[in-house]
Amino acid sequence: MAIDFEKAVGRATADFATMTAEELGTWNDMNDAEHRSQYLRFIEGYHKDHCYLCNKDFKTVSKESPCVHWLLRRGKFKNKDVVLIAQKFGYINICAYLRWCANAEILAVNINDLKDEAPEGKILSSTIKWKNIEWSFDCSPNDFAGHGGSHSNFPHYHFQMRIDGKQFINFNDYHLPFSEHDLFLLRLSKEPGMHFDFGNHGMGMQDAMDIDPEDIVNHTSPTEDEEEAAFNIQTMIIAPNKPIRGEDISAAFEESKRTGRTMASIFREKFEGTDVDVKSIVGPSETVPKITPRTEHKPR
Protein backbone atom coordinates (compact mmCIF):
# COMPACT_ATOMS: atom_id res chain seq x y z
CA MET A 1 0.00 0.00 0.00
CA ALA A 2 0.91 3.66 0.01
CA ILE A 3 2.40 4.32 -3.34
CA ASP A 4 0.50 7.45 -4.26
CA PHE A 5 3.52 9.62 -4.80
CA GLU A 6 1.74 12.92 -5.14
CA LYS A 7 -1.42 12.68 -3.07
CA ALA A 8 -1.06 10.05 -0.40
CA VAL A 9 0.12 12.30 2.40
CA GLY A 10 -3.10 14.23 2.77
CA ARG A 11 -5.45 11.40 2.15
CA ALA A 12 -3.79 8.96 4.50
CA THR A 13 -3.30 11.29 7.42
CA ALA A 14 -6.62 13.11 7.20
CA ASP A 15 -9.10 10.32 7.76
CA PHE A 16 -7.52 7.23 9.14
CA ALA A 17 -8.19 7.57 12.83
CA THR A 18 -11.91 7.98 12.39
CA MET A 19 -12.47 5.28 9.79
CA THR A 20 -14.63 2.24 10.36
CA ALA A 21 -13.40 -1.21 9.30
CA GLU A 22 -15.55 -0.97 6.20
CA GLU A 23 -14.19 2.44 5.24
CA LEU A 24 -10.71 1.14 5.90
CA GLY A 25 -11.37 -1.75 3.51
CA THR A 26 -12.50 0.70 0.83
CA TRP A 27 -9.45 2.82 1.47
CA ASN A 28 -7.22 -0.22 1.06
CA ASP A 29 -8.98 -1.19 -2.17
CA MET A 30 -8.50 2.32 -3.51
CA ASN A 31 -4.91 2.22 -2.46
CA ASP A 32 -4.42 -1.15 -4.17
CA ALA A 33 -5.94 0.20 -7.37
CA GLU A 34 -3.69 3.26 -7.16
CA HIS A 35 -0.71 0.99 -6.52
CA ARG A 36 -1.54 -1.12 -9.56
CA SER A 37 -2.03 1.82 -11.88
CA GLN A 38 1.18 3.49 -10.70
CA TYR A 39 3.05 0.23 -11.14
CA LEU A 40 1.78 -0.24 -14.68
CA ARG A 41 2.96 3.24 -15.62
CA PHE A 42 6.27 2.56 -13.87
CA ILE A 43 7.02 -0.72 -15.62
CA GLU A 44 6.03 0.53 -19.04
CA GLY A 45 8.51 3.39 -18.64
CA TYR A 46 11.15 1.18 -17.03
CA HIS A 47 11.51 -0.97 -20.12
CA LYS A 48 12.24 2.16 -22.13
CA ASP A 49 14.67 3.63 -19.56
CA HIS A 50 12.06 6.27 -18.91
CA CYS A 51 10.84 7.52 -15.54
CA TYR A 52 7.06 7.74 -15.17
CA LEU A 53 7.29 10.06 -12.16
CA CYS A 54 9.07 13.00 -13.78
CA ASN A 55 8.52 11.96 -17.39
CA LYS A 56 12.23 12.09 -18.20
CA ASP A 57 14.75 9.50 -19.31
CA PHE A 58 16.69 7.70 -16.59
CA LYS A 59 19.87 9.41 -17.75
CA THR A 60 18.40 12.92 -17.37
CA VAL A 61 19.31 14.69 -14.15
CA SER A 62 17.77 18.13 -14.04
CA LYS A 63 18.38 20.14 -10.93
CA GLU A 64 14.94 21.80 -10.90
CA SER A 65 13.10 18.52 -10.50
CA PRO A 66 14.89 16.08 -8.19
CA CYS A 67 13.67 12.53 -8.77
CA VAL A 68 14.13 9.04 -7.33
CA HIS A 69 15.33 7.82 -10.72
CA TRP A 70 18.60 9.68 -10.13
CA LEU A 71 19.50 6.91 -7.70
CA LEU A 72 19.75 4.53 -10.66
CA ARG A 73 22.81 6.59 -11.55
CA ARG A 74 22.27 6.48 -15.30
CA GLY A 75 23.07 10.20 -15.19
CA LYS A 76 25.52 11.92 -12.87
CA PHE A 77 24.43 13.64 -9.67
CA LYS A 78 26.33 14.75 -6.59
CA ASN A 79 26.39 12.72 -3.40
CA LYS A 80 24.65 15.54 -1.48
CA ASP A 81 21.75 15.67 -3.94
CA VAL A 82 20.30 12.63 -2.20
CA VAL A 83 18.97 15.10 0.38
CA LEU A 84 16.88 16.83 -2.31
CA ILE A 85 15.42 13.48 -3.33
CA ALA A 86 14.73 12.50 0.26
CA GLN A 87 13.01 15.79 1.06
CA LYS A 88 10.78 15.51 -1.96
CA PHE A 89 9.75 11.86 -1.75
CA GLY A 90 10.21 10.39 1.71
CA TYR A 91 11.44 6.94 2.63
CA ILE A 92 8.49 4.75 1.64
CA ASN A 93 8.17 6.14 -1.85
CA ILE A 94 11.91 6.02 -2.50
CA CYS A 95 12.15 2.49 -1.20
CA ALA A 96 9.11 1.36 -3.21
CA TYR A 97 10.58 2.76 -6.42
CA LEU A 98 13.94 1.07 -5.87
CA ARG A 99 12.20 -2.21 -5.02
CA TRP A 100 10.19 -2.02 -8.23
CA CYS A 101 13.44 -1.57 -10.16
CA ALA A 102 15.11 -4.53 -8.42
CA ASN A 103 12.03 -6.70 -8.96
CA ALA A 104 11.82 -5.73 -12.62
CA GLU A 105 15.09 -7.66 -13.05
CA ILE A 106 14.31 -10.61 -10.81
CA LEU A 107 11.61 -11.03 -8.19
CA ALA A 108 12.56 -10.66 -4.50
CA VAL A 109 16.07 -12.16 -4.77
CA ASN A 110 17.90 -8.84 -4.73
CA ILE A 111 15.98 -7.37 -1.81
CA ASN A 112 17.28 -8.43 1.56
CA ASP A 113 14.82 -7.25 4.18
CA LEU A 114 15.02 -10.44 6.22
CA LYS A 115 14.18 -9.82 9.85
CA ASP A 116 16.53 -12.64 10.88
CA GLU A 117 19.47 -10.95 9.24
CA ALA A 118 18.79 -7.44 10.47
CA PRO A 119 20.75 -6.26 13.51
CA GLU A 120 18.69 -6.44 16.72
CA GLY A 121 16.23 -3.62 17.40
CA LYS A 122 16.44 -1.78 14.06
CA ILE A 123 13.38 0.00 12.73
CA LEU A 124 14.67 -0.23 9.18
CA SER A 125 17.37 -2.47 7.84
CA SER A 126 17.45 -3.55 4.26
CA THR A 127 19.73 -3.77 1.25
CA ILE A 128 18.53 -3.65 -2.34
CA LYS A 129 20.73 -4.63 -5.25
CA TRP A 130 20.08 -3.46 -8.79
CA LYS A 131 22.58 -4.05 -11.62
CA ASN A 132 25.89 -2.51 -10.43
CA ILE A 133 24.28 -0.57 -7.56
CA GLU A 134 23.43 -1.39 -3.96
CA TRP A 135 21.22 0.75 -1.73
CA SER A 136 20.82 0.24 2.01
CA PHE A 137 18.39 1.77 4.48
CA ASP A 138 19.03 1.87 8.19
CA CYS A 139 17.14 3.36 11.09
CA SER A 140 17.57 2.70 14.80
CA PRO A 141 15.10 3.73 17.51
CA ASN A 142 17.46 6.66 18.27
CA ASP A 143 17.25 7.92 14.70
CA PHE A 144 13.49 7.50 14.68
CA ALA A 145 13.14 9.46 17.91
CA GLY A 146 15.30 12.19 16.43
CA HIS A 147 17.81 12.34 19.25
CA GLY A 148 20.98 14.30 18.68
CA GLY A 149 22.11 17.76 17.69
CA SER A 150 20.38 20.24 15.42
CA HIS A 151 21.46 18.28 12.32
CA SER A 152 19.59 15.19 13.49
CA ASN A 153 16.92 16.20 16.02
CA PHE A 154 14.07 15.02 13.80
CA PRO A 155 12.90 11.52 12.89
CA HIS A 156 15.33 10.33 10.22
CA TYR A 157 16.96 7.35 8.62
CA HIS A 158 20.36 6.67 7.10
CA PHE A 159 21.09 5.68 3.54
CA GLN A 160 24.04 4.08 1.86
CA MET A 161 24.72 3.72 -1.84
CA ARG A 162 27.47 1.73 -3.49
CA ILE A 163 28.33 1.80 -7.17
CA ASP A 164 30.40 -1.12 -8.46
CA GLY A 165 31.04 -2.05 -4.84
CA LYS A 166 32.51 1.38 -4.01
CA GLN A 167 31.00 3.81 -1.50
CA PHE A 168 29.15 6.69 -3.13
CA ILE A 169 26.96 7.72 -0.18
CA ASN A 170 27.92 6.65 3.34
CA PHE A 171 25.38 5.87 6.04
CA ASN A 172 26.68 8.63 8.25
CA ASP A 173 26.82 11.31 5.54
CA TYR A 174 23.20 12.40 5.95
CA HIS A 175 20.22 12.26 8.27
CA LEU A 176 17.39 11.87 5.81
CA PRO A 177 13.96 12.99 7.07
CA PHE A 178 10.95 10.73 7.13
CA SER A 179 7.93 12.37 5.53
CA GLU A 180 4.66 12.82 7.45
CA HIS A 181 3.32 10.00 5.35
CA ASP A 182 6.24 7.72 6.34
CA LEU A 183 5.81 8.49 10.03
CA PHE A 184 2.12 7.90 9.85
CA LEU A 185 2.45 4.51 8.17
CA LEU A 186 5.39 3.37 10.27
CA ARG A 187 3.50 4.17 13.46
CA LEU A 188 0.31 2.64 12.12
CA SER A 189 2.09 -0.59 11.23
CA LYS A 190 2.89 -1.04 14.94
CA GLU A 191 -0.82 -1.15 15.80
CA PRO A 192 -2.32 -4.58 16.41
CA GLY A 193 -3.77 -6.08 13.24
CA MET A 194 -2.05 -3.53 11.02
CA HIS A 195 0.37 -4.60 8.43
CA PHE A 196 2.55 -2.58 6.13
CA ASP A 197 4.23 -3.92 3.04
CA PHE A 198 5.33 -2.78 -0.39
CA GLY A 199 2.72 -4.82 -2.26
CA ASN A 200 3.23 -7.62 -4.78
CA HIS A 201 5.59 -5.66 -6.98
CA GLY A 202 7.69 -4.49 -4.07
CA MET A 203 8.06 -7.84 -2.32
CA GLY A 204 11.41 -8.72 -0.80
CA MET A 205 12.92 -11.87 0.66
CA GLN A 206 10.99 -11.49 3.91
CA ASP A 207 7.72 -11.78 2.00
CA ALA A 208 9.20 -14.70 0.05
CA MET A 209 10.19 -16.47 3.25
CA ASP A 210 6.73 -15.88 4.71
CA ILE A 211 5.31 -18.18 2.03
CA ASP A 212 4.37 -21.59 3.43
CA PRO A 213 7.49 -23.81 3.01
CA GLU A 214 5.19 -26.55 1.69
CA ASP A 215 4.18 -24.26 -1.19
CA ILE A 216 7.79 -23.35 -1.90
CA VAL A 217 8.78 -27.02 -2.13
CA ASN A 218 5.80 -27.89 -4.32
CA HIS A 219 5.50 -24.84 -6.53
CA THR A 220 9.02 -23.63 -7.27
CA SER A 221 11.34 -24.94 -9.96
CA PRO A 222 15.00 -25.72 -9.52
CA THR A 223 17.40 -23.53 -11.47
CA GLU A 224 20.93 -24.30 -12.63
CA ASP A 225 21.74 -20.61 -12.48
CA GLU A 226 22.67 -19.69 -8.91
CA GLU A 227 22.07 -16.02 -9.71
CA GLU A 228 18.39 -16.65 -10.27
CA ALA A 229 17.68 -18.67 -7.17
CA ALA A 230 15.50 -17.14 -4.47
CA PHE A 231 15.56 -20.13 -2.14
CA ASN A 232 17.97 -22.71 -0.98
CA ILE A 233 16.13 -25.96 -0.29
CA GLN A 234 17.96 -28.63 1.63
CA THR A 235 16.33 -32.00 1.75
CA MET A 236 17.08 -34.84 4.09
CA ILE A 237 15.78 -38.32 3.56
CA ILE A 238 15.62 -40.47 6.64
CA ALA A 239 15.10 -44.13 5.90
CA PRO A 240 14.99 -46.13 9.14
CA ASN A 241 14.94 -49.62 7.64
CA LYS A 242 16.79 -49.86 4.38
CA PRO A 243 19.17 -47.41 2.73
CA ILE A 244 17.95 -45.23 -0.14
CA ARG A 245 19.21 -46.60 -3.40
CA GLY A 246 21.49 -44.52 -5.59
CA GLU A 247 19.20 -45.13 -8.55
CA ASP A 248 16.24 -43.63 -6.67
CA ILE A 249 18.23 -40.48 -6.20
CA SER A 250 19.39 -40.26 -9.80
CA ALA A 251 15.85 -41.05 -11.03
CA ALA A 252 14.52 -38.18 -8.91
CA PHE A 253 17.27 -35.93 -10.25
CA GLU A 254 16.35 -36.79 -13.85
CA GLU A 255 12.67 -36.27 -13.12
CA SER A 256 13.42 -32.91 -11.55
CA LYS A 257 15.32 -31.83 -14.65
CA ARG A 258 12.58 -33.08 -16.94
CA THR A 259 9.56 -31.69 -15.08
CA GLY A 260 10.97 -28.59 -13.41
CA ARG A 261 9.80 -29.77 -9.99
CA THR A 262 12.02 -29.64 -6.94
CA MET A 263 13.77 -32.83 -5.76
CA ALA A 264 12.13 -32.29 -2.38
CA SER A 265 8.67 -32.43 -3.90
CA ILE A 266 9.46 -35.52 -5.98
CA PHE A 267 10.89 -37.40 -2.98
CA ARG A 268 7.90 -36.51 -0.85
CA GLU A 269 5.54 -37.90 -3.43
CA LYS A 270 7.61 -41.03 -3.96
CA PHE A 271 7.92 -41.89 -0.27
CA GLU A 272 4.46 -40.85 0.78
CA GLY A 273 2.85 -43.39 3.11
CA THR A 274 6.13 -45.28 3.71
CA ASP A 275 8.38 -45.16 6.76
CA VAL A 276 10.80 -42.96 4.87
CA ASP A 277 10.77 -39.42 6.20
CA VAL A 278 11.54 -36.51 3.87
CA LYS A 279 12.47 -33.28 5.60
CA SER A 280 13.20 -30.02 3.84
CA ILE A 281 14.69 -26.84 5.16
CA VAL A 282 13.87 -23.79 3.09
CA GLY A 283 16.16 -20.76 3.40
CA PRO A 284 17.09 -17.74 1.32
CA SER A 285 19.63 -18.48 -1.43
CA GLU A 286 23.26 -17.40 -1.36
CA THR A 287 22.50 -14.93 -4.15
CA VAL A 288 20.53 -12.64 -1.83
CA PRO A 289 22.77 -9.65 -1.02
CA LYS A 290 23.93 -9.30 2.56
CA ILE A 291 22.43 -6.45 4.58
CA THR A 292 25.11 -3.83 5.07
CA PRO A 293 25.30 -3.09 8.78
CA ARG A 294 25.72 0.47 10.00
CA THR A 295 27.94 1.19 12.92
CA GLU A 296 26.04 3.72 14.94
CA HIS A 297 27.96 6.71 16.15
CA LYS A 298 27.08 8.20 19.49
CA PRO A 299 24.69 11.10 18.88
CA ARG A 300 26.62 14.32 19.05
Which of 1, 2, 8, 51 is in the footprint of Zn ion by CB under 5 A?
51
Total of residues contacting Zn ion (CB under 5 A): 6
User: Residue 283 to residues 133, 215, 286, 290, 295: CA-CA distances in angstroms?
Assistant: 24, 13, 9, 14, 27
Residue among 158 and 261 whose Cβ is closer to Zn ion = 158
In 10 A of CB 72, how many CB atoms? Answer: 20
**Is residue 139 a contact point for Zn ion (CB under 5 A)?**
no
Q: Least CB distance from residue 101 to Zn ion, whole Å?
A: 11
Q: Are 178 and 156 in contact (CB under 8 A)?
A: yes
Q: Are 109 and 285 within 8 A, CB to CB? A: yes
- Vertex 115: Cα angle to 183 and 288 (nearest 5): 115
Residue 133 engages Zn ion in binding (rule: CB under 5 A): no
SS3 (DSSP) at 286: coil
Q: How far is the CB of 140 from Zn ion (least distance, A)?
A: 7
d(CA 45, CA 100): 12
Q: Minimum CB separation from Zn ion for residue 150, in Å?
A: 13
CB nearer to Zn ion: give 195 or 297: 297
Q: Is 201 near Zn ion (CB under 5 A)? A: no
Binding mask 225-254 for Zn ion (x = CB under 5 A): ------------------------------
Residues 52-71 that bind Zn ion (CB under 5 A): 53-54, 67, 69
The reply to whether 143 sits near Zn ion by the rule CB under 5 A is: yes
- 231: phi then psi, degrees, rounded to nearest 5: -120, 155
Pairing of strands 124-130, 111-112: antiparallel
Residues that bind Zn ion (CB under 5 A): 51, 53-54, 67, 69, 143
